[in-house]
């Protein structure tokens, strides 16, 4: 069985989202693009019906997230935002947090999941968390830019078969630590860049809810942790 995965994006961004769809296909799944319309996402029953035909959810990378969704004013260096996309993805993320849809959240997708769980974000990482680590490199997308350290015993460490490996992280925003270090609502931080920026999060009791700040969709041809992440995601969608 090839499980059908919802990639929460629009058809007009199909070219940008193709690497995510290709990585899902290589791991054994099929994909559709879309997100719930306002009348659907604002009604719990309608949203569940919308999601019912999918076996899993992939929240992809993309634009910055509007800080009004976590109660902050806009930073002067906030990038482009898409309010409708924010609302649709946040509705799906909230449903994923409380229900059993296997979910893989990548880059912006991990940030969406964290905001849905009650986190805030660094709106402009270079000015709000100055660091020698360059989180917005200009190299090709598959370039491995820094190491991540993964919490021993976490789901991410187990499926990566390693607690330290290089990644191709590139992002403008990042998840802030919650009041409890390493925890945002039900989500636990499980991977960090060398400057302690959160690079991985997961839900410890969910069937499969994992978020990573790097871009495994660009690495599935040669990077074992990225290959295994997609394979584990699709396997969870088959259950």
Q: What residues does each domain of the chain span?
A: 4-237
User: Strand 56-59 and strand 103-106: pairing?
Assistant: parallel
How large is the average pLDDT for residues 50-78? Answer: 96
How large is the average pLDDT for residues 196-206? Answer: 96
Task: Supply the pLDDT for residue 183.
Answer: 86
pLDDT tens digits, one per residue of 135-177: 999 999 999 999 999 999 999 999 998 999 999 999 999 999 7
CATH of domain 4-237: 3.40.50.880
Query: pLDDT at residue 179 above 70?
Result: no
Element at 140 (helix H, strand E): none
What is the chain's mean pLDDT, rounded?
95
Instruction: State the sign of the Cα–Cα–Cα–Cα dihedral 95, 99, 102, 107.
Output: positive
Four-CA torsion 121, 74, 58, 56, nearest 10 degrees:
90
Query: pLDDT at residue 101 above 70?
Result: yes
DSSP 226: H
Task: Supply the pLDDT for residue 83.
Answer: 85
- Inter-residue contact 53 to 78 (CB < 8 Å): no
> For residues 180 and 195, which has the higher predicted lDDT (pLDDT)?
195
Kindly indicate the confidence band of residue 35, based on its pLDDT and cuts at 50, 70 and 90: confident
What residues form DSSP beta bridges with 165? 148
Q: What is the pTM of this model?
A: 0.97
Percent of the chain scoring above 70 in pLDDT:
99
Task: Supply the pLDDT for residue 177.
Answer: 78
Percent of the chain scoring above 90 in pLDDT:
92
- Inter-residue contact 131 to 195 (CB < 8 Å): yes
Task: Supply the pLDDT for residue 57.
Answer: 98
How large is the average pLDDT for residues 210-236? Answer: 97
pLDDT tens digits, one per residue of 36-60: 999 999 999 999 999 999 999 999 9
How large is the average pLDDT for residues 185-189? Answer: 93
């Amino acid at each position: 069985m090839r499980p059908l995965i919802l990639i929460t994006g629009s058809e007009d961004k199909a070219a940008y989202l193709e690497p995510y769809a290709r990585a899902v296909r290589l791991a054994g799944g099929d994909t559709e693009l879309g997100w719930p319309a306002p009348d659907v996402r604002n009604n719990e029953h309608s949203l569940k019906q919308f999601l019912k035909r999918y076996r899993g959810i992939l929240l992809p990378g993309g634009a910055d997230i509007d800080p009004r969704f976590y109660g902050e004013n806009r930073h002067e260096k906030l990038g482009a935002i898409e309010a409708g996309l924010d609302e649709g993805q946040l509705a799906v993320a909230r449903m994923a947090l409380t229900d059993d849809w296997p979910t893989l959240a990548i880059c912006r997708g991990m940030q969406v999941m964290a905001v849905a769980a009650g986190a805030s974000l660094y709106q402009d990482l270079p000015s709000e968390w100055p660091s020698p680590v360059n989180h917005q490199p200009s190299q090709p997308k598959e370039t491995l830019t820094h190491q991540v350290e993964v919490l021993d015993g976490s789901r991410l460490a187990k499926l990566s078969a390693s607690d330290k490996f290089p990644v191709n992280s590139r992002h403008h925003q990042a998840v802030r630590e919650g009041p409890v270090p390493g925890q945002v609502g039900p989500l636990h931080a499980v991977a960090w860049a060398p400057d302690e920026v959160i690079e991985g999060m997961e839900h410890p009791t969910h069937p499969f809810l994992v978020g990573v700040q790097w871009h495994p969709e660009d690495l599935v041809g040669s990077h074992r942790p990225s290959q295994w992440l997609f394979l584990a995601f699709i396997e969870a969608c088959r259950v």
